[in-house]
Amino acid sequence: MENYKRVILCKYGEVALKGVNKPKFEELMMKDLRERADRIGKFDIYSAQSTVYIEPQGEEDDIDAMLDEASHTFGFSALTLAAVAKKDIDDIIRVVKDYTVPTLPAGSSFRADAKRADKTFPMKSPNIAAKVGEAILEASPTLRVDLHTPDNYVMVEIRERGAYIHSTQIKGAGGMPRNSNGRGILLLSGGIDSPVAGYLMMKRGVGLEAVHFESFPYTSEAAREKVLSLAKILTSWCGTLKVHIISVTHIQEELRRHTSEDYFTILLRRFMMRLSLRVQKYAGSDCLITGESLGQVASQTMQAIGVTDEISDVPVFRPLIGLDKEDIVKISRAIGAFETSILPYEDCCTVFTPSHPKTRPSLPNVTAQEQRVDVDALTEEAWATHEIVTVTRD
């Protein structure tokens, strides 16, 4: 049985620089952590010195699961699972030997460091580090000290409530706290790009809902479930995600029947923008978010984006606009969405795809094409199919 308590230390990222507004961001981060903790067990969560502490209240509370939850909490740059000792050098050495030494591979190198945030502690940081290093070598003679390029770091932090010992640090989610920068509607397709766009906007503190356009029977039930699976992946960061689903089947059929083929994609995008704005007003959100990357496909040229944006009266954010596909795939893999995104189920944008889409559309020509269909009637008909699926982590 462990003869020490383990706690999670969550270190701030850019929130530490927020000055007088810092407490507001801290409270949002704490709220996010508490909601996550409620799913796992009972934890005491509090902040001090630009660090949030997470302490389990009972032996049955799963601190490793809570560490995983904390790693998905925006606002923290780094996380450590630390053992707590009394602010006494003998107890610090005892915990170092019990907690840290068994984790250091035989024959590897290490460096011991110390930080003394509590200046009332009688030993200075270099002396603490020296004592800890001696104790590690005494407990495991196969280890060796390397001050420049060690295989392992052993850190002792002397803080207000105790001494915290750790040897590993994991990267936090970073960014800004959840729901600290307004709310947006993500146009969520079944591809690689849009889930990454949603993730990046959440990382900047934007709360999300999503809208998905389906084309049943041209698209399958499996395509719909794929999108909901992608939404579920995003809930690792946001907890719950409402997905607004709208059918554009009749819009696509009418566009194919009455407009020039090369304008089909841009006209469909403008309908999607109109319907997304309806969702934005319905949900009370502040912006739209898309996964477009400049020049990636025909509908994502500068001219095509300009013609599409002409519809919107709110900001349209495109966090991927300057990224190439390799960058986007890298993030998709990192958030666990890539394998789902590449499942071979078509979305509505791949239905009736023209062989030679217009890449440099002008607004007068586009509006002339739109006059061939009843835009208002088709928009209202599509809106009547609007349904909401609430996706949760469970």
Q: Express as a percent the part of the chain with pLDDT over 90.
A: 84
Question: Does residue 104 have a pLDDT over 80?
Answer: yes
Strand partners, 154: 112
Place of tokens 């002396």: 127
- Confidence band for 50, pLDDT divided at 50, 70 and 90: confident
What gap in Å lies between CA 391 and CA 224, rounded to an integer?
13
Pairing verdict, β 152-158 and 109-116: parallel
Cβ-based neighbour number of residue 169 at 10 Å: 16
Question: What does the pLDDT read at residue 348?
Answer: 58
Question: What does the pLDDT read at residue 297?
Answer: 82
pLDDT in tens, 323-379: 999 999 999 999 999 999 999 876 655 666 777 788 898 999 999 999 999 999 999
pLDDT in tens, 215-261: 988 888 899 999 999 999 999 999 999 999 999 999 999 999 999 99
Question: What does the pLDDT read at residue 349?
Answer: 59
The more confidently predicted of residues 4 and 322 is 322
Question: What does the pLDDT read at residue 356?
Answer: 76
Strand partners, 187: 211
Question: What does the pLDDT read at residue 296?
Answer: 84
- Confidence band for 311, pLDDT divided at 50, 70 and 90: very high
Average pLDDT, the chain: 93
pLDDT in tens, 55-84: 999 877 799 999 999 999 999 999 999 999
- pTM for the complete prediction? 0.90
Mean pLDDT over 267-296 rounds to: 96
Question: Does residue 100 have a pLDDT over 70?
Answer: yes
pLDDT in tens, 122-161: 999 999 999 999 999 999 999 999 999 999 999 999 998 9
pLDDT in tens, 165-179: 999 899 999 999 999
